[in-house]
Structure formats: structure tokens, C-alpha cells
Amino acid sequence: MRVATFNILHGRCPDDDEVHVDRFARAVAALDADVLALQEVDRNQARSRNADLTSIAADAMGAPHHRFVAALSGSPGSTWLAATGDEQPDDAAYGVALLSRHPLSAWQVVRLPPVPTPVPMRFGGRLLPTWVRDEPRVAVAADVATSAGPVTAVTTHLSFVPWWNRRQLRLLVRALAHRRRPLLLTGDLNMDAGAAASVSGLRPLADHPTFPADRPREQLDHVLVDGSLDVRSSHAVRLPVSDHRALYVDLAVEPAVDPA
């Protein structure tokens, strides 16, 4: 079973800074994932040609089971508000998505608060910091029906503020304490593998730099596990979409053998 996570930058292509939904669909199809976690997903946004990127990805990979969960509703620069979960299917929104070729059930949404005040951040080696306001974050979890039994899959996109994303990760792990194991936590965590493992208590399944896509220097995207799952291979692949590489792991998920 191939599990992949991909921050898609709302489907934008780095070569021309535009969204081409056909190119996005081909990129998703090329991943050939059985379970796909997406972050920075647009729905009905002008910048991504008013497309439902979750539905496009689902069609491209052949995933009849999928769900988009908004972190923000409205459109950037106008009505950009924290999502409540009461959005309508055709509302403009931005968030995360979980897609699967296997049946999904027992959905859970976990909303993670942003930093309550603007925070100073340094960008591009500038001496003076820029004061930036964080965004609300969200995670979505579901049980995946595999041939060896259920596996919990989770995806999220955490804050870029280092001390706050660690707080969000701890909150998320606590919220998932009741979920069945094995549990796969995927997504753009905006921290390296060492921090992700130490904060979450979960085991990393892939060690590959994912950002920036052309010459990756750091791993921001992760697949972590709580429980027993064996990895056959893993890779971070550059696709013609996004400033991140997609990260995937091939898991040895086999039917349980009756000892009798």
C-alpha cells in the first residue's frame, strides 16, 4: 500500500506561477498512491480556476473515498476567515484533504488554533523581522480498510511558527489518543524529522528532504507511525506542481494469516 503526502501549493506550477488543473491531475496520477494526503488545497478559488482540487485528485488517482476539510473559508484578500465546519460544498475554501482507493470510515476533524497575536519572522536573510499573522490549522483522520485490517490515516498542515507548531502537534496527538493503531500521521508539519519524532512520540517512516522542490534542503513533510508497519521503500519525488516534493512510503500491508 502506497501512502503519500503532498503540499500542493493550491496546484500552482513553479515554472509559470499558474494553476493548470490538467497538469495537477497528471502529477497526482503519477504518484500512484493508494492513500493520499494533500495540504494547501483550494476549493472554488479564483487563483486555482475555481476548481475543486480534491475532486480532481480523486478522479486522477481513482479514489472513490475522499474528504476535503477547510481551515479557511472565503478567498484570500477579501473574506478570508477561520472555517467552522459549517461551510457549504460550493463555498470557496482552503484546507487539507484525505483521499483513498480503500474504504474510509470513522472520520474525525481536529481544529488547531493559530498563534493569537502577530509574531516576528525573518525571511530571506533580512536583518529586521516581519510581523506576520498565523492562520487556523486543521487535521482530518479516518480509518482505512486494508487487507490486513484497519489503519488510521491522519493529515494536517501545521503552523510555520516553530514553537507553536510543536504545541499544535502535541494537541493533535492527544486528540488522536483514542484512535485505533497502527496510526499514520502525515502532512506538512513545518519541522524536521527529529522534532516531529520527539514532539509526537511517533516513528518516522521516511527520511528525505522535501523543500524547496528544486533543490530540497530540509524535510518539512512527514509520514509518522504509531504501531507496527513495515516500510518496503520511500522516496521524495519532484512533480511539476508545488514548491514541495511529494513524499511517499510503500508499506508491507498483507492479509492476516490464520495459524490454523
pLDDT digits (tens, 9 = 90+) for 151-202: 999 999 999 999 999 999 999 999 999 999 999 999 999 999 999 999 999 9
Q: Are 236 and 209 in contact (CB under 8 A)?
A: yes
Show the CA angle centred on residue 64, arms to residues 31 and 30, nearest 5°: 15
Distance CA 151, CA 1 (A): 11
pLDDT of amino acid 255:
59
Residue of 87, 90, 86, 106 lying closest to 98 (CA atoms): 106
Q: Is 171 helix (H, G, I), strand (E, B) or coil?
A: helix
Taking residues 254-258, report their average pLDDT: 51
Q: Are 138 and 83 in contact (CB under 8 A)?
A: yes
Q: pLDDT tens, 92-132?
A: 999 999 999 999 999 999 999 998 888 887 776 777 888 88
pLDDT of amino acid 127:
77
Q: Are 3 and 35 in contact (CB under 8 A)?
A: yes
Residue ranges per structural domain of the chain: 2-122+130-251
Q: pLDDT tens, 21-74?
A: 999 999 999 999 999 999 999 999 999 999 999 999 999 999 999 999 999 999
pLDDT of amino acid 260:
39
Which of 202-206, 245-249, 254-258 is least confident? 254-258
User: Would you give the end-to-end CA distance of the chain in angstroms?
Assistant: 26
pLDDT of amino acid 133:
83
pTM for this model (two decimals): 0.94
pLDDT of amino acid 197:
98
pLDDT of amino acid 102:
97
The fold of 2-122+130-251 is: Deoxyribonuclease I; Chain A (3.60.10)
